Structure 1
Amino acid sequence: MMILPKPRKIIPTDGAFLVPSLWKIALIENDNLSNVVLDILFDWQKASLSEANLILGISRTILPIEGYRLSISPTKIIVEGADRLGVLHGLATLKQLDCHPTIDCQIIFDDPELPVRGFLLDISRDMIPTLRSLKQLVRWLWLCKMNHLELYVEGFSLELPLFPDLNVDHPLTMAEYLELEKYAEVFGVDLVPNMNTLGHMTEWLKLDKYRHLAECESGYLLFGYPFPPSTLNPTDPESSRLVKQMITPLVEKSKSGFFHLNADEPFELSQGKSKAVCEKKGLGCVYLDFLLPLFDWVQAHGKQPIIWGDVLANHPEVLSRFPQSVIVTDWGYDYDHDFETPVARYQAHHIPFLTAPGTSSWNSFASRRHDMLLSTVHAVKAAKNHDGLGILMTDWGDFSHPQPFVVSLHGLVFAAACSWRECDETNDFSDWMDQYIFIEEEKKGIAEILKNLANYSLLEPVLMSNQTLLFASWMYVDNDPTHPLALKAQVWKDALTKHPLYPPYSTQIQTLITDTRAQLSGRSSLVSKEINAVLNLMELSLILNEMVNQAIDRREQANTLIQELLLDSDTLWLHRNKPHGLAKATYRLKVLSEFLQNRDLI
């Protein structure tokens, strides 16, 4: 039987343990293990040592941090942890073993190779999970022995108590956040507060009250396309005051010892109000001068700051000034991303760091499995080679988060396995996922379906950075309702001509879509419906690409797919997520429908 992550050492012994219908559990020096965990895992009652068939306790012998020893004899099971987390990890292993009537007797010795094994979920690109969904995520992280969770916040996806005048539709409330933090702590998962603080400030800078704080109030160009202001002016003291006011509730209320300030992708920095000072001092120095007082303020509240490393990677000259108490996270989501070079610099300057690969679910509909696997393997190796703290697996939601979370689960599981015990891109955990993640599926094989669908990027003529060709049909839809439809259509068509899909590549992708539909036949679960929606998005995008680049008119079929997607959108979205962002996400479909209805446009 596969145990995930793979244990360090298993010693088989004689006999078998008969799994009881009622567990009798004795807690030794571990009374702070919450009944919530035991209630979810077992039908159980508290027992004395002599009566117990399951004994949980802190080990009296030396075990590595978060390590555990799981001893299974014919009459009882003993879980000993180096600490509370070790006991929880031992229980996660036991839960994978007790799904059969008997468990072979054995002794398992286990501990993680990296101290931080994290997952970041983007809740700020329109899709905000319900508290129920987030608690399910926590339980999956516990089962995979991950210990760090971040909910990425930019804009107003999290309730901000110090800004009562903001009119936000269904954010994650502060009460829900704190309830999730408490729930995560029970399962040994640190819910680390996260809020962007320099770049990615678009929603704030749209407001008249704060627009004057923008580095470039008129916006900026990126890849030849205009974007609204997204970066604060770091030379204005009011920018720093706004950031502190934004993050104060999380800094004061969160129990985590970390705070992720992000501070990534300040695209306009040095292009506007800070241009003169950047030319004089250097962009890296201006960037760091803005952050240093913020670091001190966060640390004064007992939290260790975390930031992304993209600016530092491009400006290594400031590393000698960078505080050794702040964690830098190097991110990269393509199969060939170089983690080694930047983290070697951090190691040389005694700067603690994480590496951040990605599920690569975003900008792809179904994930880019090849990139996910290799970016994760390289991230883990770089962290281990250079004494890093660990990894932070990221799951973003660019362009209104059209992909359901299920397409990200392979990435979550693979990251968990690799960060606990090294593995490589050949490892396939589909069978394990069917057993422990997709437990409500009537038929096995759903994880294999998701895995195969995530390989569609390999059917395209080129491997693109951080996206697929197919996604262009969605990505380049202008979702600003104030822009003229004809302008939207022209920009969209121009973009698609730069991302063509011709036979045999388009034919191969269509075959994959058709074959996957056949594999879903007879399934009626929520997951199968979510996969079907992914297939509809993929086929719609393929048809639209053909219409623009091959002058093939499949207007009727495209409209049918759009109507089906719109019809199912409420049910599928609201089953796992809050209403927030649903209208914005489906607006792209409505724009595409308008294109199709007007033959002068397409």
Structure 2
Amino acid sequence: MQNKIVFVPQPKKVVYQNGFLPFEGFVLAQRKVFGGHTLTGLQPFIAANGVTLAAQQNAALGSQAYVITVDKTGVTVQYATQTGLHYAVLTLLQAAKQCKGKLPFMCVHDEPDFVSRGFMLDISRNKVPTLATLKKLVDYLSDVKVNMLQLYVEGRSFYYPSKAECYSRPDDYLTSADIVALKKYAEQRFVSLVPCGNCYGHMTYWLNQPQYNRLAYSPNGFDWSKDGLHCPAGTLNPADPDSVRFVRGLFDDMLPAFGNAGLFNIGGDEPFDTIYGEHALDDDGETYFSYMQQICADVRSRGLTPMMWGDVAHNHPDKIDRLGDVVYLEWHYDKGLFNDECCRVYAQKGARFYVCPSSGLYSSVTGKTDNMLANIAEAAYYGKKHGAEGMLNTDWGDGASSQSFVSSVYCQGVAACYSWNATCFDDGELQQWLNDNVYGCNLSAIVADLGRYVNLQKQKMNMIPFLFSALYIRGLDCMQVDYDNYSDPLAFFRRDELLTTDESNDTQAFLDDIRARLDSVDNGNLYCAEARYALDMLTWAVMHTRVCRGLRNDNPDVGLVRQTADFGEKCVLQHKQVWFARNKRSDYAKASFRWTRLVKKYRQLLSELTAKRK
């Protein structure tokens, strides 16, 4: 075999043999076996003079397993279920697209390491995708054999009819009609759409509406730390029966559109108001588990199995059994945090659990590539070792969902590969496949490297890269606190960190090199536009850092301030263009508020500096 076929994800076992099968297409020996979307995928490769494609049902195989044999007699696929047959066809089509005129003799034995391979997209940090974008996402997930999609709903990102007074334009958000259409579309492609929301913490938007504030555990908010970081109310009062009734009302509005989804991710994570501040609880988790028992019981009464984030349960393993049949979601987003101990907590209790790594795109624009690669690899390794039922890769939007679809595609490709085959991943092959089948140009390596700007920061990083922190949080005066942007956790942070001069120079040189590479491959498609937007945002951040350092040293460069203001205006326009290319209006005004205000501050600063020079 001279040319190895690039399979994404990599099958468990591929044995190439001497010889090739002349190939111009397929003749289906049993056309009726290949139903629905599986047949649709095959349709372009069906030819009257093609090779025979036979399908044989084999009950001894697992439900998602398959075997492909290519020899001189043709192609044979063995499968146990339609799901297995679908995955076999996906693999076969990857081979057919790469093999011009001949298929190599080979035998493929394949089956996933994780029964559930999911992707969770945060649609609650101001940005809600259009239905067309979500369908495109489903197409991609299906192609890489991901079988679960969750859309994280917090606040008003979903239109709740019983809360109609909180919406001026309901169609700007995810609607029940969107869910019904997406669910049907996804199921045709062997992807389940699982509802995902919250029920305890992360209720900030609702609890800061006047009519619901009385339900808050800390109605006036709480002090996160002693340095003045005050956060608004975000956690329901577990002692108030109306809190449970409120959550049930949210469920009543949202769940019917999902039909018999089987699972429901109810969140339950990070009840910060009960952890920090003067009213922090110290009751060994008793309040938490008592409250969550009520929510889980309600979910089961609807015929669904609750899934919930494991950050609280993990710290109280003696209480895990109290919640009954629950799928725990063990999440860690930095390398080195997945290990034997964190997975063994559930395995020893016989509890169902998933491992949940992250794309790492939140609070960064382009992510932290090397951290993401390690985080996902470790999640897959330890999850498989300790019997995790699934892997759910998360794409959070903290920082006003500043990332774009182009970066999510790459990160989710990595997770898809590891969740299918936990011990065999080739980043180069994934990048090649993405270039050929998704991006439409040699963009993958550029996307991956855009997430490596963080490596040039030598100062210790506290979760958020200094470059993003300076632009989004610090601004020009370290006072950019948006008290009404309840969807974004970063809206309440105050940070005053900047890159050093050397770090700024190294980062700019790094970005200049990427710009030259992007110029050489840019074919004008939307993916390239998104990559250019990301590159320009990071470039603006470097310029902004230099302006801030000049102001800090009382030596501002008027010319640099003018250039930074002009470049910032360009970035604001790019942000708007890439936003509306894939997303509803949703809360665009809030997501763009910091960028537009920062540009206005530049203009004001420029006016002041110019006046001083006169």
TM-score normalised by length of structure 1 = 0.89
Question: Displacement of 1:268 after TM fit?
Answer: 0.1
Match of 2:79 in 1: 81
Which residue is 1:512 aligned to? 510
Aligned partners of 2:223 and 2:277 also within 8 Å: no
Of 20, 24, 28, 1:25 maps to 28
Is residue 2:582 matched to residue 1:576?
A: yes
Following TM superposition, by how much is the alpha carbon of 1:93 offset from its aligned partner in structure 2, in angstroms?
0.7
What secondary structure is seen at the aligned counterpart in 2 of 1:165? helix
Residue aligning to 2:53: 54
CA gap of 1:26–1:131, structure 2 versus 1, over 3 A, is farther
Letter in 1 for 2:11: P
Match of 1:198 among 189, 200, 207: 200
SS at match of 1:72: strand
User: Which of the residues 261, 266, 277 maps onto 1:256?
Assistant: 261
Q: How far apart are residue 317 of structure 1 and its match? A: 4.2
The answer to which of 109-118 and 514-523 deviates more is: 514-523
Structure-2 residue corresponding to 1:475: 472
Q: Distance in 2 between matches of 1:186 and 1:155?
A: 30
**C-alpha separation between the residues in 2 aligned to 1:424 and 1:543?**
41
Are the counterparts in 1 of residues 24 and 47 from structure 2 also a CA contact under 8 Å? no
For the pair 1:7 / 2:11, whether they are aligned, the reply is yes
Q: Are 1:25 and 1:46, in contact at CA under 8 Å, matched by a contact in 2?
A: no
Structure 1 unpaired stretches of 5+: none
CA distance in 1: counterparts of 2:469 and 2:563, whole angstroms? 19
Residue 563 in 1 paired to residue 566 in 2? no
Residue aligning to 1:239:
243
- The corresponding residue for 2:612 is none
Post-superposition CA distance 1:364-402 (Å, at most 9, x none): 111101110111111112211211112110001112111
Percentage of matched positions with identical amino acids: 28
Q: 3-state DSSP class of the match of 1:598?
A: helix
- The question of whether the paired residues in 2 share the 8 Å contact of 1:28 and 1:56 is answered with no
Offset from partner CA, 1:525-570 (integer Å, 9 cap, x none): 2212111111111111122222223445321121112111222333
- What SS is found at the alignment partner of 2:245? helix
Deviation at 1:18, TM superposition (A): 4.2
Letter in 2 for 1:460: Q
Aligned residues of 1:122 and 1:397 also touching (Cα < 8 A): yes
Q: Which residue of 2 aligns with 1:345?
A: 345
Query: Residue 272 of structure 2 aligns to a residue in which SS?
Result: coil
Could you tell me whether the CA contact under 8 Å between 2:223 and 2:276 is conserved in 1?
A: no
Aligned to 1:433: 434
The CA distance in 2 between the partners of 1:314 and 1:547, in whole Å, is 44
Whole-angstrom CA distance in 2 between matches of 1:201 and 1:283: 23
What is the CA distance between 1:205 and its match in structure 2?
1.1
**1:106-160, Cα deviation, whole Å (9 max, x unpaired):** 2211001111111111111111111111111111111111111111110111122
Report if aligned partners of 1:25, 1:44 keep a CA contact under 8 Å in 2.
no
The answer as to whether partners of 1:214 and 1:231 remain within 8 angstroms in 2 is yes
User: For the residues of structure 2 that align with 1:117 and 1:397, how far apart are their CA atoms?
Assistant: 21
Shift of 1:81: 2.0
Letter in 1 for 2:569: Q
Q: Is the 8 A contact 2:222 2:231 kept in 1?
A: yes
1:288 to partner: Cα distance: 0.8
Structure 1 residues 160 and 44 mapped into 2: Cα distance closer, same or farther (>3 Å)?
farther
Change in Cα spacing, 1:42 to 1:160, as seen in structure 2 (3 Å) is same
Q: 1:26 offset after TM fit, Å?
A: 4.6
Counterpart for residue 383 of structure 1? 383
The 1-side partners of 2:305 and 2:19 are apart by 48
Give the Cα separation in 1 of the matches to 2:74 and 2:166. 57
Q: What is the deviation of 1:500?
A: 2.1
Match of 1:94 in 2: 92
SS in 2 for 1:106: strand
Any conservation in 1 of the 2:69–2:75 contact (CA below 8 Å)?
yes
What's the RMSD between the two structures over aligned residues?
2.8
Residues 321 and 481 (structure 1), Cα distance of their counterparts in 2 relative to 1, 3 Å cut: closer
Matched with 2:602 is 596
Conserved 8 A contact 2:384-2:422: no
C-alpha distance in structure 2 between counterparts of 1:52 and 1:246, whole Å: 54
Alpha-carbon deviation of 1:436? 2.0
Match of 1:455 in 2: 452
Match of 1:410 in 2: 410
Cα distance in structure 2, aligned partners of 1:234 and 1:272: 17
Distance of aligned partners of 1:235 and 1:283 in 2 relative to their CA distance in 1, 3 Å threshold: farther
Q: What secondary structure is seen at the aligned counterpart in 2 of 1:71?
A: strand
Distance 1:289 1:520, change over 3 A: same
1: CA distance, partners of 2:343 / 2:435: 36
CA distance 1:238–1:458, shift in 2 (3 Å): same
Shift in Å at residue 176 of structure 1?
Answer: 1.1
Aligned amino acid, residue 116 of structure 2: V
Contact 1:310 1:331 in 2 (8 A): yes
Residue range with higher mean Cα deviation, 381-390 or 541-550: 541-550
Contact 2:150 2:195 in 1 (8 A): yes
Amino acid at match of 2:44: D
Q: Give the alignment of 1:3-402 within 5 angstroms.
A: 3-20=7-24, 23-27=26-30, 30=33, 33-34=35-36, 36-43=37-44, 53-56=52-55, 59-74=57-72, 76-99=74-97, 100-101=99-100, 102-169=102-169, 170-223=172-225, 224-254=228-258, 255-269=260-274, 278-279=281-282, 282=283, 284-323=285-324, 325-402=325-402
1:330–1:339 Cα contact (<8 Å) kept: no
Structure 2 counterpart of 1:535: 535
What residue in structure 1 maps to residue 461 of structure 2?
464
1:216 Cα shift?
0.8
Equivalent residue of 2:164, what SS?
coil
CA contact (8 A) 2:405 2:530 kept: no
